[in-house]
Amino acid sequence: MKGSSVWNLKGTLFFFHASMTIMISYLPVYFQSLGLTGTEIGILMAVGPAASILSQPFWGFVSDKWKTVKKILVLCLSGALAAGFVLFQMEEFAFLILTMFIFFGFLSPGGGLGDSLSQKIAMERGVSFGSIRMWGSLGFGSASLAGGYILDWIGIGHIFAVFAVFLTTAILFSMTAPDSRPSAKPVHLSGALKLLRNPQLLLFLAFIVSISLTHRMNDAFIGLYIVELGGSESVIGMAWFIGVTAEAAMFALSAYWMSRFHPLTLIAAAGAVYVLRWGLFTLAETPAMILAVQATHGIAFAVFYLTAFQFIGRLVPKEFQSTGHLLFISVFFGLSGVIGSGIGGVIIDAGSVHLLYQVMFLISLVGFTGALLYRRYYMRRSPDSFSNS
């Protein structure tokens, strides 16, 4: 039963991230098919992350308070399915804004809750967190490839049907997934608010934004960039499949590379790969060139996200692990998504998607510099922790 339960958690991650593929990869294309402008698409793509800024820490705190991650995960996924049905009946811009906010208020915490639960289960069972988390990447990659061909066949207007199949399956798996052993310490709101006065945590989250901003811009607009270069929905799916397959491989091998270097050393290295990645994107002239560069997504994101996610555990008390995890994710995917989608849409309207990637290259340079500076700051405060750096 223990092995079966872990596989149910892996199944939850696989199908949840498969459903997220449809939203991240094809939602901008769907909105474009409704006749919305680049600025309007940018605003809508910013609404989801805006909702996650509030919902991620909220649901993380609730899971710590109620001492159950699994039940809150099931609740959020079920709410997202219901809200998604309403969202895809809407065509008026004002109604789309409202329903997008509600939809992502439930959907976005699913990833953070799933990852938080996975790390806790990995620690309890003595297995690698990456070996569980990789199933989310496999689901994302598989669905990006299959989803592109399916939507080419049935049309982008049927995007909700594909999404609903994946999310419903995730809900079924989550109902039989394991729950983590709760901390014995009581959890109060005052304790959670103290996290916001932790200087090491705040500085860490601040420099995270400068790197994750470019990541989220790419999430929102890579599909439009491929279309601008002459590609189709199936090419978008192939691009995601290549990137996320490389990501899953990095997660699977995490037990071998994570222990060799300090997390902040790995985060800085990932920042350097982001600089290289966006630099190569600015040189792309065909969709094939985008596909060739996509393998760098696996290195950049997997190393950055996995090490940053686990490093958060060093900065927050054990009883607030889920709150800390979802606070990190609200910054990485939420705050960065709001800024990235909003600014990205304006840049596209003012110039092109190519111009956007040139801006992303410059921002990533700032993020890489911030990673180096934070590493130096942390090393001075905790020099013993860098014995394996």
Residues 191 and 271 sit within 8 Å (Cβ to Cβ) = no
What pLDDT is stored for residue 181 in this prediction? Answer: 79
List, in order, residues 6 or more apart from 82 with CB less than 8 Å away.
none
* pLDDT at residue 235, rounded to an integer: 87
> Containing domain of residue 22, as a range?
2-386
Q: What is the CA radius of gyration of the chain?
A: 20
Tens-place pLDDT, residues 252-266: 888 888 888 889 999
Determine the pLDDT at residue 86.
95
DSSP state of 184: S
Mean pLDDT of the chain, nearest integer: 88
> Is the Cβ–Cβ distance between 179 and 14 less than 8 Å?
no
Task: Give this prediction's pTM.
Answer: 0.83
User: Which of the four pLDDT bands, split at 50, 70 and 90, describes residue 338?
Assistant: confident
Q: CB-based contacts of 59: which residues, under 8 Å, 6+ apart?
A: 72, 76, 109, 112, 113, 326
- Rounded Cα distance between 144 and 164, Å, is 15
* pLDDT at residue number 128: 86
pLDDT of residue 369: 94
Interval 314-325 mean pLDDT: 85
Q: What is the CATH number of the domain that holds 368?
A: 1.20.1250.20
Look up residue 86 and give its two tokens.
């309403």
pLDDT class of 78 with cuts at 50, 70, 90: very high
Question: What is the tens place of the pLDDT at every residue in 23-57?
Answer: 877 888 899 899 998 888 888 877 887 888 889 89
pLDDT of residue 358: 95
Asked whether residue 388 carries a pLDDT value surpassing 60, the answer given is: no
Q: What is the pLDDT of residues 133-149, one digit of tens each?
A: 999 988 987 887 788 78
pLDDT at residue 2 is higher than 70: no
Total domains in the fold of the chain: 1
CA geometry: angle 354, 297, 249, nearest 5 deg: 160
- Above 50 in pLDDT, residue 159? yes
Per-residue pLDDT at 187: 67
Query: What pLDDT sits at residue 186?
Result: 66
Residue 1: predicted pLDDT: 42
pLDDT of residue 266: 94
Would you state the pLDDT for residue 77?
Answer: 97
295-315 helix and 129-154 helix, angle to the nearest 10 degrees: 140
- Between 300 and 123, name the one with better pLDDT: 300
Q: What percent of the chain has pLDDT over 70?
A: 95
Output 338 or 169, whichever has higher pLDDT: 169
Q: Is the pLDDT of residue 150 over 70?
A: yes
Band of pLDDT at residue 232, cut at 50, 70 and 90? confident
Output the pLDDT for position 144. Answer: 73
By the 8 A CB rule, do 40 and 93 touch? yes
